[in-house]
């Protein structure tokens, strides 16, 4: 059978990533490579609120980027990273984390939104930063998302044994010559990168959900930490595609739809 011109154009446009849906699908897929294993650590270490605080700080990062003409990614990376470091060092000094995280997380969000309101051009666009705008992911965004996700996955794979040991028990890690503080820093850096690249896809309010929901769903299916991390990535990827389709089919907001699909996955396991 000979290809019709239509088919040929479709295939060509997929290869060239012309279609915004193809780009959106690939963005969700790429992100899932990182959110699977990182999400598993967030669950194991009970860092859910920590993830939230870091993600909320990204909104402040957007404002910083707008004010200084930096790329949005650089601004979010810096501020999310600073927030994650602050929270991690407070936790190491034994602060009451529940309250501290609540204060930091919500003030970062509030300050960020107030700061963004000083840029009238962006003001109308605010929901894109809060809930993401995956359908607007361009080729350059896609490259950054994949680069960030692969970097995080490689970082976690490199430190895997040490991260797991330190997560199980810090004293046990110490006795084996592993510095738990350094491994915590690895996770903090990974989290800041994921937040920065995921902002475009699901937005600041839903990044923590991207991390936690697939990992929680994968828990029941896994007998080892490795299978849980891989299952979380697969569940995350499938749910991103399902969320896209849901959003296409019912014209629902895409970022929240992906989270809904991820939650749905954990029901039908």
Partner 1 sequence: MSLIAAEHICVRFGGIEVLHDITLSVAKGEIVTILGPNGSGKSTLLRALLGIVPVQGGRILRQAGLRLGYVPQRLQIDRTMPITVRRFLSLPVRIGEAEARAVLARVGAEGLGPRQMTDLSGGQLQRVLLARALLADPDLLVLDEPTQGLDQPGEAAFYRLIEEVRQATGMAVLMVSHDLHVVMAASDRVICLNGHICCEGTPRVVSTAPEYRALFGPGTKGALALYRHDHDHAHDDGHAHHHHEHDHA
The site for partner 1 (CB under 8 A) is made up of 43-46, 161-162, 164-165, 167-176, 178, 216, 219, 222-225, 227-228
14 and 124 in contact (C-beta within 8 Å)? no
159 contact partners, CB below 8 Å, separation of at least 6: 183, 186
Cα(15)–Cα(261) distance, integer angstroms: 27
Closest approach, Cβ 52 to partner 1, in A, equals: 17
Tokens of 148: 């960030």
Cα(154)–Cα(197) distance, integer angstroms: 16
75 and 64 in contact (C-beta within 8 Å)? yes
Closest approach, Cβ 45 to partner 1, in A, equals: 8
Nearer of residues 194 and 216 to partner 1, judged by Cβ: 216
Nearer of residues 232 and 260 to partner 1, judged by Cβ: 232
Nearer of residues 127 and 227 to partner 1, judged by Cβ: 227
Cα(81)–Cα(78) distance, integer angstroms: 5
* Tally: H helices and E strands in the chain: 13, 0
Closest approach, Cβ 166 to partner 1, in A, equals: 9
Cα distances (angstroms) measured from residue 27 to each of 15, 56, 150, 185, 211? 15, 21, 12, 26, 15
Closest approach, Cβ 171 to partner 1, in A, equals: 5
Nearer of residues 2 and 223 to partner 1, judged by Cβ: 223
10 Å CB burial of residue 69 (0-12, 13-18, 19+) is exposed
Nearer of residues 111 and 159 to partner 1, judged by Cβ: 159
31 and 210 in contact (C-beta within 8 Å)? yes
Closest approach, Cβ 193 to partner 1, in A, equals: 23
Nearer of residues 28 and 180 to partner 1, judged by Cβ: 180
Closest approach, Cβ 39 to partner 1, in A, equals: 11
Closest approach, Cβ 46 to partner 1, in A, equals: 7
Nearer of residues 64 and 211 to partner 1, judged by Cβ: 211
Cα(44)–Cα(39) distance, integer angstroms: 9
């Amino acid at each position: 059978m000979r290809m019709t011109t239509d088919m040929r154009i479709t295939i060509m446009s997929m290869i060239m990533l012309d279609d915004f849906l193809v780009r959106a699908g690939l963005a969700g897929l790429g992100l899932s490579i990182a959110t699977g294993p990182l999400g598993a650590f967030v669950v194991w270490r009970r860092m859910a609120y920590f993830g939230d605080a870091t993600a909320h700080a990204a909104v402040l990062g957007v404002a910083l980027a707008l004010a200084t003409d930096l790329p949005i990614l650089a601004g979010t990376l810096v501020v999310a990273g600073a927030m994650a470091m602050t929270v991690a060092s407070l936790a190491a000094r034994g602060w009451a984390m529940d309250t501290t995280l609540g204060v930091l997380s919500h003030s970062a969000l509030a300050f960020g939104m107030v700061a963004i309101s000083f840029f009238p051009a962006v003001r109308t666009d605010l929901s894109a930063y809060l809930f993401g705008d995956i359908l607007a992911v361009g080729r350059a965004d896609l490259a950054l998302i994949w680069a960030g996700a692969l970097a995080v996955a490689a970082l976690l794979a490199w430190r895997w044994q040490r991260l797991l040991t330190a997560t199980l028990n810090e004293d046990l890690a110490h006795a084996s010559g592993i510095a738990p503080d350094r491994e915590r820093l690895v996770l903090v850096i990974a989290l800041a990168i994921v937040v920065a690249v995921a902002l475009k896809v699901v937005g600041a309010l839903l990044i923590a959900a991207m991390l936690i929901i697939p990992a929680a769903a994968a828990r029941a299916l896994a007998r080892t930490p490795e299978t849980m991390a891989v299952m979380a990535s697969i569940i995350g990827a499938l749910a991103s595609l399902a969320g896209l389709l849901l959003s296409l089919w019912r014209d629902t907001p895409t970022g929240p739809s992906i989270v809904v699909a991820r939650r749905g996955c954990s029901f039908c396991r």
